[in-house]
């Protein structure tokens, strides 16, 4: 099974190279690119089965034993996120194929498909990296492709947003490289399993300084308040299908990295007060921001910021229950955030508008859009029995079960944020879907456009079904997440799998 571990990274990278070769033949790109991502989905599912059977799987590339070589590690958390991310990446790519087939949006196939596959490779490598430097490389692979995707079909707004995104990303990358250098200077290694052993012997002040530096690095990348201002100004400017990928996965890759680094390198027995405070601030500021805007994409972007706070809350508890809730929330939010942006793309394609002041009457015009918005909107708000409710319930139980007054207070903030999110989604529903329908612009009715719309609607409906699978299989998924959380707080199997050949 060791040969499976590099495939989620290697397959899309090879696919991107092939896509560059055939970039002039769009029909080839439409076939090959989704097949490659489908291969990643299949590989991820096979890795989930292998980890369930054999436990943690570590691969030393090039035959160099850890901690000297390049280490890839598949465990319960990484394989779960690889599989879920690949499913979402495949859905968004097919959505993009539909846009291209129907001529329904701005499209640069010779650039989009290779860059998208490279992004897929970077995302998977983030989840599978077994040392800090390769984690840095994974982010750079992911971010280099995202720079390209951000400015597809360039406009003045997109170029400006791309410059903001690039400047912030490069700043966080410089800080990340600095953190890696300081860690190597202090511990003599960058291998995560080896560091989990060595950092225990570092002076408390050094450990605290390194932990805070990594918190800043991944706080910028995941848009934790007050390091979030770049996200609502950059994500909404990109093509909607690109924003869907970014919102679903880029920030979650950073949250995953923070969870991995904090639990392996800087474990603790009690609450993390800085993270607890940042979690509450992130939930409040992000969700309140969503209530103050009229652009649907900015509303969803601020909602994304606010809900990063839930995942940080679960990590800050440093308990099995808290991490279980954080993992469930990662899975839920990857799916639901992508779905909401795909719905917004359909709304924009139907009306030509994306602001609440100009959207109206969509419930009468398109009952389908009403349904596919209503379900993920309830889910992101945490209304029972959706996936958002399952994930939030786990976090609320973890907060109450911690026995800390501070955790009780942040749990209260989380409940309040859920209500505010429901208000934000209700506002979108009331203004965009109710009221007297507006006169719609003349639309194309040729067969290609109808076929493209059908593909996009089918993908969106499929994503709704994927989201509904989370509460339908809440028991097995919670059990898997609980075991993953237990492994995070007891990393002995992870360390043993990586260092056993040393």
Per cent of the chain over pLDDT 70 is 96
Token digits of residue 324: 């279980």
Full residue range of the structural domain in which residue 327 is found: 2-499
Neighbours of 61 (CB within 10 A): 13
For the ranges 23-27, 263-267, 293-297, 386-390, the lowest mean pLDDT is seen at 23-27
Please give the average per-residue pLDDT across 470-482, as a whole number. 96
Count each helix (H run) and each strand (E run) in the chain, helices first. Answer: 21, 2
Helices (H), 230-361: 230-234, 240-245, 251-265, 273-290, 296-317, 320-351
* Of 215, 238, 95, the residue nearest 158 (C-alpha): 238
Query: What pLDDT sits at residue 359?
Result: 83
Sign of the torsion formed by the C-alpha atoms of 231, 236, 238 and 244? positive
Rounded distance between C-alpha atoms, residue 144 and residue 156, angstroms: 20
The secondary structure element, H or E, covering residue 59 is strand 57-61
Neighbours of 358 (CB within 10 A): 13
Query: How many domains in the chain?
Result: 1
158 band by pLDDT with thresholds 50, 70 and 90: confident
Within 8 A by CB and 6+ apart from 398, the residues are 314, 317, 319, 321, 322, 324, 325
Token digits of residue 408: 């009780």
DSSP assigned state of 60:
E
Rounded distance between C-alpha atoms, residue 59 and residue 1, angstroms: 10
> Which single residue is written with the structure tokens 């990586």?
498
Rounded distance between C-alpha atoms, residue 279 and residue 271, angstroms: 12
* Of 155, 290, 309, 349, the residue nearest 227 (C-alpha): 309
Beta bridge partners of 70: 61
Per cent of the chain over pLDDT 90 is 75
What is the rounded average pLDDT for all residues in the chain? 91
502 band by pLDDT with thresholds 50, 70 and 90: very low
More confident residue, 66 or 429: 429
C-alpha separations of 235 from 21, 248, 301 in Å = 29, 11, 7
């Amino acid at each position: 099974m060791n040969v499976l571990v590099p495939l989620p990274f290697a397959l899309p990278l090879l696919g991107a190279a092939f896509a560059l070769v055939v970039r002039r033949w769009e029909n080839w790109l439409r076939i090959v690119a989704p097949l490659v991502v489908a291969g990643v989905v299949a590989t991820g599912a096979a890795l989930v089965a292998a980890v369930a059977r054999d436990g943690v799987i570590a691969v030393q590339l090039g035959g160099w034993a850890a901690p000297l070589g390049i280490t890839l590690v598949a465990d319960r958390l990484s394989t779960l996120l690889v599989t879920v991310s690949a499913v979402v990446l495949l859905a968004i790519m097919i959505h993009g194929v539909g846009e291209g087939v129907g001529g329904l949006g701005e499209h640069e196939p010779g650039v989009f498909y290779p860059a998208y596959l490279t992004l897929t490779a970077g995302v998977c490598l983030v989840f599978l990296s077994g040392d800090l430097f390769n984690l840095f490389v994974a982010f750079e692979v992911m971010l280099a492709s995202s720079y390209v995707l951000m400015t597809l079909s360039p406009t003045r707004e997109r170029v400006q947003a791309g410059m903001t995104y690039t400047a912030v990303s490069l700043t966080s990358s410089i800080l990340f490289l600095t953190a890696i250098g300081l860690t190597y200077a202090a511990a003599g290694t960058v291998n995560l399993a080896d560091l989990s052993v060595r950092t225990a012997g570092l002076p408390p002040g050094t450990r605290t300084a390194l932990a805070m530096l990594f918190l800043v690095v991944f706080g910028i990348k995941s848009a934790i308040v007050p390091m979030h201002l770049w996200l609502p100004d950059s994500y909404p400017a990109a093509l909607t299908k690109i924003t869907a990928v970014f919102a679903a996965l880029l920030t979650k890759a950073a949250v995953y990295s923070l969870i991995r680094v904090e639990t392996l390198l800087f474990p603790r027995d009690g609450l993390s007060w800085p993270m607890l405070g940042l979690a509450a601030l992130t939930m409040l500021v992000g969700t309140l921001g969503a209530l103050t805007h009229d652009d649907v994409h900015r509303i969803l972007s601020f909602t994304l910021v606010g809900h990063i706070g839930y995942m940080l809350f679960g990590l800050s508890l440093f308990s099995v229950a808290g991490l279980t809730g954080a993992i469930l929330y990662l899975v839920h939010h990857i799916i639901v955030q992508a779905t909401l942006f795909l719905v917004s793309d359909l709304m924009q394609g139907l009306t030509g508008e994306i602001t609440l002041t100009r959207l109206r009457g969509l419930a009468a015009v398109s009952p389908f859009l009403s349904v596919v918005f209503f379900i993920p909107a309830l889910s992101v708000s945490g209304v029972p029995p959706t996936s958002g409710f399952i994930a939030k319930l786990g976090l609320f139980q973890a907060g109450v079960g911690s026995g800390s007054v501070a955790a009780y207070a942040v749990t209260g903030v989380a409940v309040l944020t859920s209500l505010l999110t429901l208000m934000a989604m209700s506002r979108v529903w009331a203004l965009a879907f109710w009221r007297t329908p507006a006169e719609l612009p003349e639309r194309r009715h040729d067969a290609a456009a109808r076929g493209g719309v059908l593909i996009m609607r089918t993908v969106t409906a499929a994503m709704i079904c994927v989201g509904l699978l989370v509460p339908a299989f809440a028991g097995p998924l919670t059990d898997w997440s609980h075991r993953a959380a237990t492994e995070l707080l007891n990393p002995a199997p992870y360390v043993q799998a990586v260092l056993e050949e040393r």
